[in-house]
Structure 1
Amino acid sequence: MAGVLGSVVAAPEIYAPEVLEAIDRGRGRSQIAQPSTKLTSGYDVWHCYELSWLLNSGEVRYATGALIIPASSPNTVESKSLKLYLNSLNAHTFATDTDAVVCIERDLSALTEASVKLELQTFEALQKSSCLIEAVEPFSSADQPTKRFTSLGFRSLCPVTSQPDWATLMIDVCEAQFDAVVIGRCIESLRNHQGFHEQCVEDLYSRLESALKPDSLQVVGFFQRRGGIDISPWRSSIQTSPSVTRLFEQ
């Protein structure tokens, strides 16, 4: 993959939306042996911990925020290019914080060809949205109770650098089709898989769907932070609203 990832690139000193690089989701999905037929809902939550810009008054603003990118978008954003882009805003002046949010949403929506949302979070709000995995609401319904499987050491490999990426997995499966041994084998099968976070979660979802044939399924990967950003892809068999929940260990 050509571009900024794996290359030495100087941090831009002025607003630079041109540094953003798109990743075609179709490339990763084409490598999934048995694509899901029931995956109906999904989104990627990017927690960005180093957002900063200036206001007209000269005030320096510093914030954290959650970017929500729908899984239905044709493209996602390459993470290093996003970091460079966000850094390019450090010396840029906006009239209000809302103007900064609108700018970021506009640029990323254009890149991904979908509606991207940015939710700024105070440090108090970030603390409230952080939790242990046991506190995350179960993916369940009255007619389809689910059982949860968690894995604290999911490992995959970056497709460019071959360096390991680590995540905590949260898998909710319809109770009637739950099989811990099969789930564990599906997770293990991806341990040396090279793929971006989103593709790995979708691949795991497809493997679980094929192996278990569950009535309902949700797979979430809470990936560890790198360079001031962590990514949590959520994939589900039923329509769900985006959650900005993050785990303490991220």
Structure 2
Amino acid sequence: MNSLQLGKSTPYPNQYDPSLLFPIQRSVNRAKLSIQENAPLPFMGVDIWNAFELSWLNPKGKPQIALAEFQIPADSPNMIESKSFKLYLNSLNSAHFESEDAVRERLITDLSAVAGSKVITRINPTEEIAKQGMQEMGGVLLDRLDIEVDPGASADPSLLSVNESFSPVEQCLVSHLLKSNCPVTGQPDWASIQIRYQGRPILEEGLLRYLIGFRQLGEFHEHCVETIFCDIKQQCKPEKLSVYARYTRRGGLDINPFRTDHNAVWPDNTRHARQ
């Protein structure tokens, strides 16, 4: 962790430099969830990144701008540390490329090498993204519950339980109250979360208290979502489960992890109002 650029005063690069990208082994955090390295994962999924500050120079030296979407497979050996990702993207600002396709291919090559798996990359003109608009997550809103919360309480998995007297249901639950903290700088990371499951009804008050408990946790976005997935799976034992979080951007990047244990429809990449 001491070698990370995150949390340090760092001059922004003035020339293209793929060595700025810093990998973080997923196995380190997954070991905390009793997921052994090289063992089958209890989920599949993707981390969807959106870059809002992508720029490069065309052959005549004229700056070009666009938005980019990156899909990093959940089974890739490595995550990419977010500040290193930001610094890398900024290193493209003064680099000349023959075309947008050349930029995309360079991004795929560099990011895939660090992640250890192919990173799907799309470059989108701003006007195309503007046409998509914004849309909030659909589902039953947990935030409507009028509950008392201990502000210092942690995310205790024992808060998670089901109503054993009810038959299995298919349900989608949503909260906008998910917050965690950067494990290095302590800066807050805000998110909305959507939980789809099939199984006995999850008791909503306990689930909301559990999610609010992440406010004091210092962890990366991806690990927070995997922790939530594994805790719900262990405590509530749903037949099917999908967990999707959309985090607000920091440094021109947002990260949106999705994990599922079945062949679920993967979420679209539609921005929310807070993003």
Q: TM-score, normalised by structure 2?
A: 0.81
Residues 199 and 237, structure 2, Cα contact 8 Å, conserved in 1: no
Give the whole-Å Cα distance in 2 for the aligned partners of 1:105 and 1:8. 28
**Pairs aligned (count):** 242
CA-to-aligned-CA distance 1:27-66 (integer Å, 9 cap, x gap): 1111226899873321001110000001113332100111
Match of 2:55 in 1: 52
Give the whole-Å Cα distance in 1 for the aligned partners of 2:128 and 2:43. 29
| Equivalent position amino acid for 1:213 in 2 | K
Match of 2:227 in 1: 203
CA-to-aligned-CA distance 1:47-96 (integer Å, 9 cap, x gap): 10000001113332100111110010000111101111000000100110
CA drift of 1:145 comes to: 6.2
Aligned counterparts, 1:85-104, within 5 A = 85-104=88-107
Unpaired stretches in structure 1, ≥5 consecutive residues: 136-143
CA-to-aligned-CA distance 1:78-123 (integer Å, 9 cap, x gap): 1101111000000100110000010011001000100101111222
Give the whole-Å Cα distance in 1 for the aligned partners of 2:202 and 2:170. 8
Match of 1:243 in 2: 268
* Equivalent residue in structure 2 for 1:163, among 187, 190, 197: 187
Match of 1:125 in 2: 128
Give the whole-Å Cα distance in 2 for the aligned partners of 1:60 and 1:103. 17
CA drift of 1:176 comes to: 3.5
CA drift of 1:8 comes to: 1.2
Give the whole-Å Cα distance in 1 for the aligned partners of 2:40 and 2:225. 15
The DSSP-based 3-state class of the residue aligned with 2:200 is helix
Residue 162 and residue 129 in structure 1: after superposition, are their counterparts in 2 closer, same or farther (change >3 A)?
A: same
Match of 2:19 in 1: 18
Give the whole-Å Cα distance in 1 for the aligned partners of 2:197 and 2:35. 19
| Higher alpha-carbon Rg | 2
Residues 34 and 207, structure 1, Cα contact 8 Å, conserved in 2: no
How large is the Cα RMSD of the aligned pairs? 2.2
Residue 22 and residue 83 in structure 1: after superposition, are their counterparts in 2 closer, same or farther (change >3 A)?
A: same
| Equivalent position amino acid for 1:7 in 2 | K
Give the whole-Å Cα distance in 1 for the aligned partners of 2:65 and 2:5. 25
CA drift of 1:179 comes to: 2.7
Residues 52 and 252, structure 2, Cα contact 8 Å, conserved in 1: yes
1:116 aligns with 2:110: no
Residue 25 and residue 154 in structure 1: after superposition, are their counterparts in 2 closer, same or farther (change >3 A)?
A: same
CA drift of 1:150 comes to: 1.0
Aligned counterparts, 1:24-39, within 5 A = 24-32=25-33, 39=42
Unpaired stretches in structure 2, ≥5 consecutive residues: 140-167
Give the whole-Å Cα distance in 2 for the aligned partners of 1:34 and 1:85. 31
Give the whole-Å Cα distance in 2 for the aligned partners of 1:13 and 1:193. 35
| Equivalent position amino acid for 2:92 in 1 | L
CA drift of 1:165 comes to: 1.3
Aligned counterparts, 1:136-155, within 5 A = 146-155=170-179
Residues 169 and 201, structure 2, Cα contact 8 Å, conserved in 1: no
The DSSP-based 3-state class of the residue aligned with 1:210 is helix
Higher relative contact order (CA 8 A, sep 6+): 1
